[in-house]
């Protein structure tokens, strides 16, 4: 919805440039009307046209106002920058140009066919008639620049000065020209400049504009190129309103100064003999979907998705990663998505380790302290590698008690099956798959969304479960409090996110559908026939903010926050690393220019996300779980909702909070991984922690 308003506003902005451009041109030419009759007619037409333009202004104001009704952050750039640039010159048009035009239109014709008098020409060329209209056109053009190109975020001071400066200079130049024209025409001197002169001027202007534009673009392109090697600590920092560390030093929460620590030392206690050991070998692989479609992809241990790792809470888990990928630049890592492991085990190339090159190995060790549904994936070249198969499920079971009934993971994925075409599948099944389950069985479906959506999507993947009332028992690996049964609900699971669905098997089929695909459904049935029915995109979206019952939480909306970060998500056309995209941005910036969110161990940290862009983004913070405090300004009323991957649609805002209790340098990025490759990546960094690793094309490390 919001993105439609935005599109409307942009169309209106373009239309205004066109309309006011025409209006400005028309009033500029009034003076060249050969006869009194024609001058009057033309003035009348111009007036009518200006009223029409006024309607467009009103329309634009209405749309911009409506956008602002979502919250000031959604419309402030329009209200502060674009709208005044349009409305003030427009007011001048009403006050000055319209009366002047009226006077001309109402003048006694006398001899209608007689040529205009010097006095009439002087009135028609008066700057006070012409300039306000033309200035409105400039204002409209600058407004278009604001909403379509620059899309500034506060503070707006720099833009206010720049834009009004351009408007003032433009107006001054036009006034000067108009005054000269008025003097010439009033004296009865030259009529219109000759055709060839006008042609030359026109071609010259177009050439100058084209030259300026292409110069600006190629400058922007080369300026966007990333350095071949980039260290994490070269990024700017945002201290979120909390205390800053002194240069070269860091402090702990009690104010004592501490030495800086390398991320490689942040391993947690990993001594002893592993309780559970796995080896994951990455290899190129031809992946065949159920329909026969082929993906030239990659796999762990020759399986797609990779082997499911089931481990127990508190156990020492060891996973040895072996890289047998072919190709010079085919590094790989393992990241434990949603599991808040110590930083050294987080598996992010260029941040917590170097990418593991072909022929090499790396061993991860950690003790999981959360129980629930997680997944693992490569965090080197992750858009490529995850999309092409380097991922698998990771389930942490409680220390005691075995899962009852049927406990299965379902990994929904979008496979790149042919040039640009992507096929939705559950695992590798893009066809209906059936499984026999005895009635009365307790079923837990651990649904993981491992996809990355197309760039411009506004909603995450929708899933439905039909045939039995079910509960959403856990989100992002965290149990919900007293979830209640659902029917006809559409579950929106952000890319990277997880929902655990539980129900009791009835005596008829239950069907899980990924509505993104046409047939990637799973039917559980007690035997016999029947496939149940698919859910519908028209079903209401499940709202985790009002589901289940409240329970006590370690902090809440009224807690005192040590740091507050406001993150405005937007997008605009632009270059990133030399390529042109419709770029997603955070506070107007892309990696590595988005400041690192700086915290101190023990801090309570608030993040507010506001999405005023055209696309939705599943934002994923590593190493921490955040409590959702409010959605669109409304406090969460149901069960505490902890998340690690939060989907934010256009027009939505979320206030979330987490305790900074896991020192390190942590990625915080969009899990529509293509967006990460376009720079939608920031980092949460603890003061006093440094990374010896580098990112960039010369380093072999490319986490996105
Ligand atoms: Cu699932 Cu940064 O990752
Ligand atoms: Cu995104």
Please report the pLDDT score of residue 545 as a whole number. 97
CA dihedral in degrees (601, 606, 609, 610; nearest 10)? -150
Ligand 1 atom at shortest distance from the alpha carbon of 667: 2
Is residue 624 within 8 Å of 649, Cβ to Cβ? no
State both tokens at 32.
């060249």
Which residues, other chains included, contact 509 with Cβ-Cβ below 8 Å and sequence gap of 6+? 467, 523, 524, 525, 526, 530, 531, 532
- 538-552 pLDDT, tens per residue? 999 999 999 999 999
Residues of the chain with pLDDT under 50: 190, 247-248
State both tokens at 199.
């042609």
Any ligand 1 atom below 6 A from CB of 669: yes
Residue with the nearest Cα to atom 2 of ligand 1? 667
Ligand 1 atom at shortest distance from the alpha carbon of 338: 1
Which of these, 82, 40, 28, lies nearest to 60 by C-alpha position?
82
- Ligand 2 centre distance from Cα of residue 597 (Å): 19
- Ligand 2 centre distance from Cα of residue 680 (Å): 7
Please report the pLDDT score of residue 516 as a whole number. 86
Give the span between the Cα atoms of 20 and 143, in whole angstroms. Answer: 12
Please report the pLDDT score of residue 190 as a whole number. 47
Is residue 69 within 8 Å of 612, Cβ to Cβ? no
Any ligand 1 atom below 6 A from CB of 496: yes
Any ligand 1 atom below 6 A from CB of 335: yes
State both tokens at 587.
């506070």
State both tokens at 662.
């896991």
Give the span between the Cα atoms of 212 and 489, in whole angstroms. Answer: 53
Residue with the nearest Cα to atom 3 of ligand 1? 337
Which of these, 171, 185, 178, lies nearest to 118 by C-alpha position?
185
Ligand nearest to the CA of 615: 2
Any ligand 1 atom below 6 A from CB of 36: no
Is residue 453 within 8 Å of 520, Cβ to Cβ? no
Is residue 444 within 8 Å of 500, Cβ to Cβ? yes
- 217-267 pLDDT, tens per residue? 999 999 999 999 998 777 899 999 998 875 445 555 565 555 688 999 999
Please report the pLDDT score of residue 189 as a whole number. 53
Q: Do β-strands 250-251 and 257-258 pair in parallel, antiparallel, or remain unpaired?
A: antiparallel
Please report the pLDDT score of residue 563 as a whole number. 97
Which of these, 133, 143, 32, 48, lies nearest to 91 by C-alpha position?
133
Ligand 1 atom at shortest distance from the alpha carbon of 622: 2
Any ligand 1 atom below 6 A from CB of 498: no
- Of the CA atoms within 13 Å of residue 257, those in its CB half-sphere come to 7
Give the span between the Cα atoms of 31 and 199, in whole angstroms. Answer: 19
- Ligand 1 centre distance from Cα of residue 513 (Å): 25
Give the span between the Cα atoms of 457 and 248, in whole angstroms. Answer: 43
State both tokens at 658.
């987490």
Residue 553: in which H helix or E strand, if any?
none
Which residues, other chains included, contact 468 with Cβ-Cβ below 8 Å and sequence gap of 6+? 503, 504, 505, 506, 510
Any ligand 1 atom below 6 A from CB of 622: yes
- Give this prediction's pTM: 0.93
């Amino acid at each position: 919805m919001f993105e439609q308003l935005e599109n409307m506003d942009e169309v209106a902005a373009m239309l205004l440039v066109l309309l006011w451009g025409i209006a400005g041109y028309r009033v500029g030419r009034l003076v060249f009307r050969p006869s009194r009759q024609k001058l009057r007619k033309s003035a009348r037409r111009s007036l009518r046209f200006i009223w029409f333009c006024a309607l467009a202004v009103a329309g634009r104001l209405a749309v911009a106002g409506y956008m602002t009704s979502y919250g000031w952050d959604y419309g402030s750039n329009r209200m502060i920058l674009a709208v005044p640039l349009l409305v003030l010159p427009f007011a001048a048009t009403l006050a000055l140009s319209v009366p002047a035009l009226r006077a001309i239109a109402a003048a006694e014709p006398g001899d209608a066919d007689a040529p205009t008098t010097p006095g009439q020409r002087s009135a028609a060329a008066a700057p006070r008639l012409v300039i306000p209209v033309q200035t409105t056109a400039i204002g409209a053009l600058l407004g278009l620049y604001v909403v379509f190109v620059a899309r500034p975020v506060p503070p707006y001071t720099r833009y206010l000065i720049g834009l009004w400066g351009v408007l003032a200079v433009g107006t001054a130049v036009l006034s000067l020209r108009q005054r000269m024209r008025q003097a010439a025409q009033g004296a009865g001197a030259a009529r219109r400049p000759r055709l060839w002169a006008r042609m030359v001027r026109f071609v010259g202007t177009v050439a100058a504009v084209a030259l300026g534009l292409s110069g600006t673009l190629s400058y922007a392109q080369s300026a966007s190129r990333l350095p071949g090697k980039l260290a994490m600590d070269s990024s700017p920092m945002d201290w979120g309103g909390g205390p800053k560390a002194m240069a070269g030093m860091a402090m702990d929460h009690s104010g004592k100064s501490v030495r800086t620590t390398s991320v490689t030392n942040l391993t947690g206690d990993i001594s002893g003999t592993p309780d559970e050991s796995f080896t994951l070998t990455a290899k190129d692989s031809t992946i065949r979907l159920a329909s026969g479609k082929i993906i030239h992809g990659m796999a762990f241990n020759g399986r797609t998705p990779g082997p499911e790792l089931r481990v127990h809470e508190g156990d020492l888990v060891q996973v040895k990663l072996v890289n047998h990928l072919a190709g010079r630049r085919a590094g790989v890592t393992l990241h434990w998505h949603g599991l808040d492991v110590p930083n050294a085990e987080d598996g992010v190339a260029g941040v917590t380790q170097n990418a593991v090159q072909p022929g090499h190995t790396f061993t991860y060790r950690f003790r999981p302290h959360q129980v629930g549904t997680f997944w693992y994936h490569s965090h080197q070249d992750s858009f490529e590698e995850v999309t092409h198969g380097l991922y698998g499920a990771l389930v942490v079971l409680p220390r005691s008690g075995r899962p009852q009934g049927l406990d299965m993971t379902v990994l929904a994925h979008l496979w790149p099956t042919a040039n640009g075409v992507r096929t939705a599948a559950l695992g590798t099944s893009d066809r209906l798959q059936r499984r026999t389950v005895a009635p009365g069985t307790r079923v837990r479906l651990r649904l993981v969304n491992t996809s990355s959506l197309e760039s411009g999507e506004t909603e995450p993947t929708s899933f439905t479960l039909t045939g039995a009332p079910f509960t959403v028992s856990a989100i992002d690996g965290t149990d919900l409090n007293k979830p209640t049964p659902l029917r006809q609900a559409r579950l929106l699971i952000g890319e990277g996110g997880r929902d655990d669905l539980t129900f009791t098997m009835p005596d008829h089929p239950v069907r899980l559908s990924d509505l993104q695909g046409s047939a990637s459904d799973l039917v559980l049935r007690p035997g016999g026939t029947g496939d149940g029915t698919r859910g519908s995109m028209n079903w209401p979206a499940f709202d985790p903010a009002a589901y289940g019952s409240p329970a006590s939480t370690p902090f809440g909306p009224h807690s005192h926050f040590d740091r507050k970060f406001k993150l405005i998500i937007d997008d605009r056309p632009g270059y990133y690393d030399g390529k042109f995209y419709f770029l997603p941005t955070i506070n107007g910036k892309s990696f590595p220019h988005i400041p690192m969110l700086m915290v101190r161990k023990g801090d309570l940290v608030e993040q507010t996300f506001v999405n005023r862009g055209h696309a939705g983004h599943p934002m994923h913070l590593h190493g921490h779980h955040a409590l959702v405090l409010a959605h669109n300004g409304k406090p969460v009323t149901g069960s505490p909702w902890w998340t690690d991957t939060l989907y934010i649609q256009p027009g939505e805002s979320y206030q979330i909070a987490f305790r900074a209790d896991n020192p390190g340098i942590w990625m915080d990025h969009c899990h529509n991984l293509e967006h990460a490759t376009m720079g939608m990546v920031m980092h949460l960094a603890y003061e006093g922690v440094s990374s010896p690793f580098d990112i960039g094309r010369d380093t072999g490390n490319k986490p996105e």
